[in-house]
Structure 1
């Protein structure tokens, strides 16, 4: 097999999720071609996928040292730092990647995405960066629909575009939409930009939708497909997250275009008419931060579908207060670590249970221990858990936690719903951006305002007070599932009816 064919074969293994086979071929290629930039980049990505986080990072550091003008290498290193919570370094890497390759939409999206993690940036600065990108992108595009088709219809063609029609947090919230859409009034098209389809992909395909696989299609090919389908409302579910297809939306392929669910900020594209949100996550005063018009769903923009046959909440019979965070480590920045450390130090018999995919790597665990140690936290106060493939077992991990600590400024979403479903109260810190107000949106919808903090001091105080109130923790363990079950957050039929009314009104008013 020649080297080009071997590289192609390794890439196929990678795309199919067979990372060990890909690694074997990449390493073999490097022995034949030491210093090959493409192989080095792909090998580092494969290391990351198999949980060798630090090895992946160290390899990328060598790559950018050897190839300082390679935008892809800086981009990959930036993603690595973002996923491990080193946000300032990630931002620096993406900025360097942009200078190397200013035309790359992938790099631009990664740079914009990481801004949502930045504790020190104002909403104005973040919005400005998104809008600047959107203006530059729009200048390169055609805008197919310059005049929108007005009026009322008997049936609407709705197109959803996403890379996350798979085992991904977005699918927890998308599945109820598909299940309860009125099929007499709404013809549903799913444009799947899914790199590795899985069981969830198959389940979504089977839910009476018109399925379109666009992963292997160019923007021009996908654009032609969408135009042929004559979509009335085209909805982006990814924003600037991985494998997005915002390039399609920049072309204005439908009379009405929206963005929803998958991204906590503006896309920056004026060709996207509306953003679906709620008045807590994005109060009216925040309209100036969006290129899209805000459409409100009430009381919350989310509708959750919990795991079927999930385990029942279970009382944690221990005198040791146990805090937990199951968010990805990328959201656990130095500011959150500092605040969490103050909580642990004021409750010296307490512990913190951290569960995240990257914590499969023992070297990564040591890095996290060092960060907490800087603030006086003892090693025995921390417990780690990596990725758990079985969903039922994953939910059982909440049996080990008394109180969930939400991350900031980028709140959790799926993890907050999971915790509440398992009877675990969540303490959140609300900020000024959508990313930092999702926790507030969810908890206020349930009347759990006592667990919403507006300052770091209040966050610490609420966490400590709750940890010292065992009776309340036991009561919440027994009552939270019933509370969320009876709320609008799980009433999919009512939620989808409201969503469909919003769709109709938006179309008729354009």
Structure 2
């Protein structure tokens, strides 16, 4: 264990406190409790300068600085306080969390370790140790720390929730769901646990879209009931005027959402739209820097309360708020429940209903939501003509390689999905393929969160299903360029089901590798069908039952199919580049027209309500 971090010495002088400082401090406390952090900090900073030895003033100032993202300044104040009170575990915990957010990971670990040394039975200290190991991908170590929390407090909500997240990431959904339900038994209003319980059920072997819809509507009703809802907005309902569109997402970086939004933003010029970003994360990547100039304002809102963010969206005069998270990680359901924009749209980052009464529209396409499945959405379904999203070709992608089977003498199937998608149902289908195509091989490249232990576990499951160990490789993730190049090692991608690939399938097509997909009910279950259809490859690559999926894979593994596969591979990039899946200019035209129609419909409803004498615009 590393030694504790060095702490600056506390100043020795103690000037007299200014008159009436308690009243100023109490006002700052009140403002902070109302989430008016900026006003509280403005009020408190002068007092903090005058009273460097008053712990309560210095600590609240540090807290407010941290809430404003001024973490380095907060660390300095907390270090000074800790020098005067070296046994204060709360200060040590604050320093650990601040250093973690500043990417000072070793220093964070040292502070968290110090907290455990000071109070070995303190649940917060133990929790922080679990969280830092979880953030570093050391899942089993993290679980061990959470078990220590449970030994002290069996009902510790955050430790239960974090443990559930770990089990979900590892694909152990039965255990994850058990833990989410334990969280909800203690705190029935834990919205994040409810959303995760819904989201992770999409990974089950046989998810029920009807049941997921019912759960989402129940959660949506609960969020709406406990949130103050705006009933008027600072916008004019003119159907043809330029629009202000807000984009709310935790994934505006190197993430599937980022890859799919990039092309739309690049082709928005001249569309009479002003974009405003509400980025609910602190991660910035090269993709973030590429898309940020498309926005007239970029707000990093990760630390903002629901009230603060909703008020900002309303004051920004947003006409249409696009939510790109739904029930996924980093969602802001509490903000959407407040309805800070007159029109709120569910799109791209999620594949089911939000269940929220204040979200009026969901953007789909003819394949992913056929008319008989519209009733699974609380939102009105609006369809783009070809595809609900369009992919931006990877920058500097390697050239398409020749079909590997021609030089290797055997077909290699590939799957580059996250481990959680490779469920027993998928493995059973692959085992049937392996039995009927004895020369075929598999290359499985795991998602970024996979650990060596996870990969060993998958290999064991494959062997137990009857696939010999010398017929497959389960490999670690690669950095992006090497990952793209690794498509040159496989002939055909086998999709997972009922949770198909998205970005991986689009990337595979760009690298000349078609994906054999199995379409199942629901927007998510039909995602592979949607992608292959939008790429102009519906024929021969979309199956609707497992027998057809197995039969088609077996046929592709036969030597007689390889010449056609090789010819298709050579022409694939040029073909898909002109398809709806990659034609960002066409997609942008279709998308902006659809969103304009959603706005026109909202304006018509406002006019209709006004003509009936109903007060308050509620499109």
Q: What TM-score do the two structures reach when normalised by structure 2?
A: 0.78
Separation of aligned partners in 1, 2:110 and 2:467: 40
Is 1:14 equivalent to 2:100 in the alignment? Answer: yes
Q: Match for residue 230 of structure 1?
A: 317
The one of 159, 164, 167 equivalent to 1:78 is 164
Q: Match for residue 553 of structure 2?
A: 463
Q: Match for residue 179 of structure 2?
A: 93
Q: Secondary structure at the match of 1:450?
A: coil
Separation of aligned partners in 2, 1:94 and 1:267: 19
The one of 501, 504, 508 equivalent to 2:596 is 504
The one of 97, 116, 119 equivalent to 1:30 is 116
Q: Match for residue 326 of structure 1?
A: 416
The one of 420, 438, 463 equivalent to 2:509 is 420
The one of 213, 223, 237 equivalent to 1:137 is 223
Q: Match for residue 207 of structure 1?
A: 294
Q: Secondary structure at the match of 1:383?
A: strand
Gap change, CA 1:435 and 1:45, over 3 Å in 2 = farther
CA-CA distance at 1:57 after TM superposition: 4.1
The one of 477, 486, 491 equivalent to 2:569 is 477
The one of 192, 201, 208 equivalent to 1:122 is 208
Q: Match for residue 188 of structure 2?
A: 102
When structure 1 is superposed on structure 2, of 87-96 and 391-400 the one drifting more is 87-96
The higher-RCO structure (CA 8 Å, 6+ apart) is: 1
Q: Secondary structure at the match of 1:257?
A: strand
The correspondence of residues 278-427 of structure 1 with structure 2, limited to 5 A, is: 278-315=365-402, 316=404, 317-357=407-447, 361-389=451-479, 391-427=480-516
**RMSD value over aligned CA atoms?**
2.1
Is 1:196 equivalent to 2:196 in the alignment? Answer: no
CA-CA distance at 1:481 after TM superposition: 1.1
Separation of aligned partners in 1, 2:584 and 2:311: 33
Q: Is the 8 A contact 2:209 2:376 kept in 1?
A: yes
CA-CA distance at 1:56 after TM superposition: 3.3
Is 1:439 equivalent to 2:552 in the alignment? Answer: no
Q: C-alpha offsets along residues 210-247 of structure 1, whole Å, 9 cap, x if unaligned?
A: 21221221111111211111111111011011111121
Is 1:272 equivalent to 2:364 in the alignment? Answer: no
CA-CA distance at 1:21 after TM superposition: 4.7
Gap change, CA 1:7 and 1:312, over 3 Å in 2 = same
Separation of aligned partners in 1, 2:229 and 2:137: 42
Stretches of structure 1 lacking an aligned partner (at least 5 in a row): none
The correspondence of residues 58-69 of structure 1 with structure 2, limited to 5 A, is: 58-60=144-146, 63-64=149-150, 67-69=153-155
Gap change, CA 1:479 and 1:427, over 3 Å in 2 = same
Q: C-alpha offsets along residues 377-404 of structure 1, whole Å, 9 cap, x if unaligned?
A: 2222221222323x21110111111111
**Rg comparison, structure with higher value:** 2
Separation of aligned partners in 2, 1:208 and 1:45: 34
When structure 1 is superposed on structure 2, of 370-379 and 125-134 the one drifting more is 370-379
Q: Secondary structure at the match of 1:272?
A: coil
Separation of aligned partners in 2, 1:346 and 1:67: 53
Stretches of structure 2 lacking an aligned partner (at least 5 in a row): 1-81, 603-619
Separation of aligned partners in 1, 2:400 and 2:193: 42
The correspondence of residues 483-494 of structure 1 with structure 2, limited to 5 A, is: 483-494=575-586
Give the 4+ runs in structure 1 shifted more than 6 A: none
Q: Secondary structure at the match of 2:417?
A: coil
Gap change, CA 1:219 and 1:343, over 3 Å in 2 = same
Q: Secondary structure at the match of 1:395?
A: helix
Q: Secondary structure at the match of 2:294?
A: coil
Gap change, CA 1:152 and 1:450, over 3 Å in 2 = same
CA-CA distance at 1:24 after TM superposition: 4.5
Separation of aligned partners in 2, 1:94 and 1:8: 27
CA-CA distance at 1:80 after TM superposition: 1.6
Separation of aligned partners in 2, 1:68 and 1:41: 13
Aligned residue pairs, count: 509
Gap change, CA 1:395 and 1:499, over 3 Å in 2 = same
CA-CA distance at 1:489 after TM superposition: 1.4
Separation of aligned partners in 2, 1:487 and 1:229: 37
Q: What TM-score do the two structures reach when normalised by structure 1?
A: 0.94
Is 1:166 equivalent to 2:258 in the alignment? Answer: no
CA-CA distance at 1:119 after TM superposition: 2.3
